[in-house]
Structure 1
Amino acid sequence: MSQQRRYFLLAVGFFTRLPVPSLPDFQESELQHAARYFPLVGVLIGLLAAIFWWLASWLFPPALAILCSMAATIYLTGAFHEDGLADSADGLGGGMDRARRLEIMQDSRLGSYGAIALVGMLLFKFQALSALTPAILPFAMITAHALSRLMAVYIMATASYVRFAGKSKPIATTLTHAELVYASVFGLLCWLGFSLMLGVNHSPAAAMRFVLLTGLPVLAIWMWWRNLILRNLQGYTGDTLGATQQLTELAFYLGLVAWEHVA
């Protein structure tokens, strides 16, 4: 249990700004074991996002409450995933070959493609969250943050790491089947639990539509993004994992908006 606690704290410390106890004798290889807890870190971030939204909703109109929640998650993660999205967009959009794309992605400066991707992501996310019924908004946040981080783990499990220098080096890892199962449980339980809750409050048919309308967009975006990075980079980088999280989080919100529209 103490070793599992260490792995969880390592995942929290690496992906968030939340304070964690000192972890002596850290080895980069430990992140292979910590990967199982990435979706659980998403649950934590989603829960905090929901709490910030709930507190802000007592003081501000709905739109401002959502913006407060979004700002809180960006602060809590240090814009880790947003930065990955922007760097990925710059590299894939501006590079003519694999070497140049990787070089651009390592550049800390924000380019046109990255700025457009980042602004577009934030606007789409805000509009999608604003379109959701407030009663399901907290559950949507928790599920989206957990499921999107699971999608990043699936990239790690099905592709090769292609950059061996830079800020993303520590997350290069090879997952075991057991670690993949752990991550899947943490990520999928939120999604399935959400669908069961909706089935109780609405109908089994509504729950099935929820699974299809939220699951298919996430899967489609994941497959498109994975194929894109494999074709252009022959694998993944830490930046592309951050982009995976952002893209699939938005895909889940959009699917949920569609579910509410047809339910």
Structure 2
Amino acid sequence: MNGLLVALGFLTRIPVPIKVFDDAQARVRSLAWYPLVGALIGAVLCALAWALPADKPLLCAALLLVAWVALTGALHLDGLADSADAWIGGMAGTWDERRARTLEIMKDPRSGPAGVTALVLLLLLKFAALASIAPSAWASLWIAPLLARMAVTAAFIGTPYVRSGGLGTGLAEAPRVACALALLLGATACALAGWRGAIALACAVVVFVMWRRACMRRLGGITGDTAGALVELVEASVLVSLALYSGT
């Protein structure tokens, strides 16, 4: 249970007992709980969408997006901004030079033009997608945060972690069987959601494969920032798929 509390406390702003973070094994086991936390985030968003007026889609989308960012503490948006700055700033030189420069820029807490632009474009895309989803499809909103956290779980058990001493160091040692079971359950939930779930799962897989290829080519693995970027990219792609097919 401590693993779930660690995952909940790290991925959201929901308060949990601070002492659970002192449990090293709980931090390692927390990765297997990421998909469940994603589903819980989705449940909160679905409940909020249900309570908001369906005849005001722009206002509804704005409030949902604000709640989404507040609930997660903009944690993954920070990773997206850092990754965007690093990817642009670390393009020159040999592979070793590009890798070292990219990792160095990711450490900088300041956001440059690339990072700010990435944040604006992604939030705009999410807002437009949320505003375009038909009210009949609001019940499928939980799929986006679920698949995004599933992608992180898959990333850490299937891709080298290259940041020595980073926040994700312990996650790379997470139990594979528990994580694989969590991914299987998440995929099953998407399958039970019908064709919308299947399309969303396909979009998430495509984004994950492209993201992993880019990380391996530039860094030889992943960092916490690139994992945060993955969450945002998967969420955006799933929301777009729901918006495009919600009225059919």
Say whether the fold is shared (TM-score over 0.5): yes
1:132-147 aligned within 5 A = 132-139=133-140, 141-147=141-147
1:54-133 aligned within 5 A = 54-57=50-53, 61-96=56-91, 97-133=98-134
Q: What SS is found at the alignment partner of 2:52?
A: helix
Change (3 A) 1:186 1:77: farther
Deviation at 1:146, TM superposition (A): 0.5
Structure 2 counterpart of 1:49? 45
Structure 2 counterpart of 1:243? 229
Structure 2 counterpart of 1:174? 173
In structure 2, what residue type is equivalent to 1:136? A
Deviation at 1:169, TM superposition (A): 4.3
CA contact (8 A) 1:40 1:186 kept: no
In structure 1, distance between residues paired with 2:38 and 2:30: 13
Normalised to the residue count of structure 2, the TM-score between the two structures is: 0.89
Change (3 A) 1:149 1:98: same
In structure 2, what residue type is equivalent to 1:227? R
1:8-19 aligned within 5 A = 8-19=4-15
In structure 2, distance between residues paired with 1:45 and 1:212: 20
In structure 2, distance between residues paired with 1:238 and 1:73: 20
1:181-260 aligned within 5 A = 181-195=180-194, 207=195, 210=196, 213-260=199-246
Deviation at 1:15, TM superposition (A): 1.2
Residue deviations 1:95-115 (CA, integer Å, cap 9, x gap) = 131111111111110111111
Q: What SS is found at the alignment partner of 1:19?
A: coil
Q: What SS is found at the alignment partner of 1:23?
A: helix
In structure 1, distance between residues paired with 2:228 and 2:21: 27
Change (3 A) 1:115 1:147: same
In structure 2, distance between residues paired with 1:248 and 1:171: 23
Residue deviations 1:203-235 (CA, integer Å, cap 9, x gap) = xxxx3xx45533332211111110001111111
Deviation at 1:134, TM superposition (A): 0.9
**Identical residues among aligned pairs (%):** 33
Deviation at 1:251, TM superposition (A): 1.3
Deviation at 1:131, TM superposition (A): 1.4
In structure 1, distance between residues paired with 2:50 and 2:71: 17
Q: What SS is found at the alignment partner of 1:49?
A: helix
CA contact (8 A) 2:200 2:238 kept: yes
User: Mind listing any 5+ residue stretches in structure 1 that lack a counterpart?
Assistant: 196-206
User: Mind listing any 5+ residue stretches in structure 2 that lack a counterpart?
Assistant: 92-97
In structure 2, distance between residues paired with 1:186 and 1:47: 16
The match for 1:35 among 17, 23, 31 is 31
Residue deviations 1:36-89 (CA, integer Å, cap 9, x gap) = 11011011111112222333327x822111211111111111100111111111
In structure 2, what residue type is equivalent to 1:27? D
Change (3 A) 1:55 1:93: same
Normalised to the residue count of structure 1, the TM-score between the two structures is: 0.84
In structure 2, what residue type is equivalent to 1:32? V
Change (3 A) 1:216 1:29: same
Q: How many residues align?
A: 242
Residue deviations 1:111-141 (CA, integer Å, cap 9, x gap) = 11111111111111111121111121132x2
Deviation at 1:171, TM superposition (A): 5.3
Change (3 A) 1:172 1:216: same
Q: What SS is found at the alignment partner of 1:110?
A: coil
In structure 2, what residue type is equivalent to 1:45? I
Change (3 A) 1:241 1:181: same
CA contact (8 A) 1:7 1:34 kept: yes
